[in-house]
Amino acid sequence: MATSWTPDQPIVQCVDVRKSFGALEVLKGISLSVKKSEVICIIGPSGSGKSTLIRCINALQPITSGSIQIEGIEVSDPRLDKLALRRKVGMVFQQYNLFPHKTALQNVMMAPIHVLGQKRAEVEARARALLAKVRLAGKEDTYPGELSGGQQQRVAIARSLAMRPDIMLFDEVTAALDPETVKEVLVTIRELAEDGMTCLLVTHEMNFAREVADHVYFTDRGVIVEHGPPEALFTAAKDERTQRFLSQVL
């Protein structure tokens, strides 16, 4: 199990993942893998189970059957050490979900102090550097409610990075943003990817997927219809459903 994983193996390994909400099966046997420093995009129509998959990977929702391993840790194991898993996995949400009663800087500092018990001075220095990295230097003492959507989302990215994860999950992180602010968030993610961060994104930003992703998965109604390098998928999709979806969104 956790002991058998080596860094040359995929960080995320999903095998035949199934997930049902009551009688409704939203994931019908998903298999995919993410290697270190890879950027993977999952695209597809609404309701195809993309967000559910990414939430299952972070154990926010239990899977019905199959296997998800993060660096060899089986997520569906009932004895799962959730803290061990979440130290490896950072997650950014569509609605930012910042802690509204804390400033931007405090939002970034909270988890390393409360969860990992790290020293305040150390954490603060790192948090300031992270905020500068996501181009929010000068906004340290601002509350989330005073920031724009794009700024809040970048604080959320810094907040996840403060935990030094091995992989970042992005769940439609630009879907709630104004068109002008989408770009600033995408630039931030692209810089992360260029630094070698392993990223798994559920996204509707086709241009971003095309330019930044190493591998793109197209999902529809709970299955992976087609996957491959972005150029191949976007220019020469083989499946008729992929073609139809791409012709609608491009």
* Residue 114 found at the interface with other proteins (CB under 8 A): yes
Q: Identify the three-state secondary structure at position 124.
A: helix
Q: Which pairing describes strands 24-34 and 167-171: parallel, antiparallel, or unpaired?
A: unpaired
* Residue 170 found at the interface with other proteins (CB under 8 A): no
CA distance 177 to 179: 6
* Residue 98 found at the interface with other proteins (CB under 8 A): yes
CA angle (167 as vertex; 164, 170 as ends), nearest 5: 110
* Residue 120 found at the interface with other proteins (CB under 8 A): no
- The one-letter amino acid code at 20 reads S
> Which residue among 28, 35, 87, 221 contacts other proteins (CB under 8 A)?
87
Q: Which pairing describes strands 223-228 and 215-220: parallel, antiparallel, or unpaired?
A: antiparallel
* Residue 146 found at the interface with other proteins (CB under 8 A): yes
* Residue 154 found at the interface with other proteins (CB under 8 A): no
Cβ-Cβ contacts under 8 Å for 117 (sequence gap 6 or more): none
* Residue 144 found at the interface with other proteins (CB under 8 A): yes
Cβ proximity to other proteins: between 105 and 237 the closer is: 105
- Measure Cα distances from 239 to 211, 235, 244 in Å: 21, 12, 9
Cβ proximity to other proteins: between 32 and 169 the closer is: 169
* Residue 78 found at the interface with other proteins (CB under 8 A): no
Please say whether the beta carbons of 141 and 171 come within 8 A.
no
CA distance 124 to 40: 31
Q: What is the Cα 155 distance to its own chain's centre? A: 15
- The one-letter amino acid code at 89 reads V
- The one-letter amino acid code at 8 reads D
Cβ proximity to other proteins: between 85 and 216 the closer is: 85
* Residue 175 found at the interface with other proteins (CB under 8 A): no
* Residue 192 found at the interface with other proteins (CB under 8 A): no
* Residue 83 found at the interface with other proteins (CB under 8 A): yes
Beta bridge partners of 65: 18
* Residue 233 found at the interface with other proteins (CB under 8 A): no
Q: x-or-dash pattern for other proteins, window 124-143, by CB under 8 A? A: ------------------xx
Part of the chain binding other proteins (CB under 8 A), chosen from 30-38, 107-115, 186-194, 238-246? 107-115
* Residue 86 found at the interface with other proteins (CB under 8 A): yes
What are the residues binding other proteins (CB under 8 A)?
Answer: 58, 60, 82-83, 86-87, 89-91, 93, 95, 97-101, 110-111, 114-116, 142-147, 156, 159-160, 163
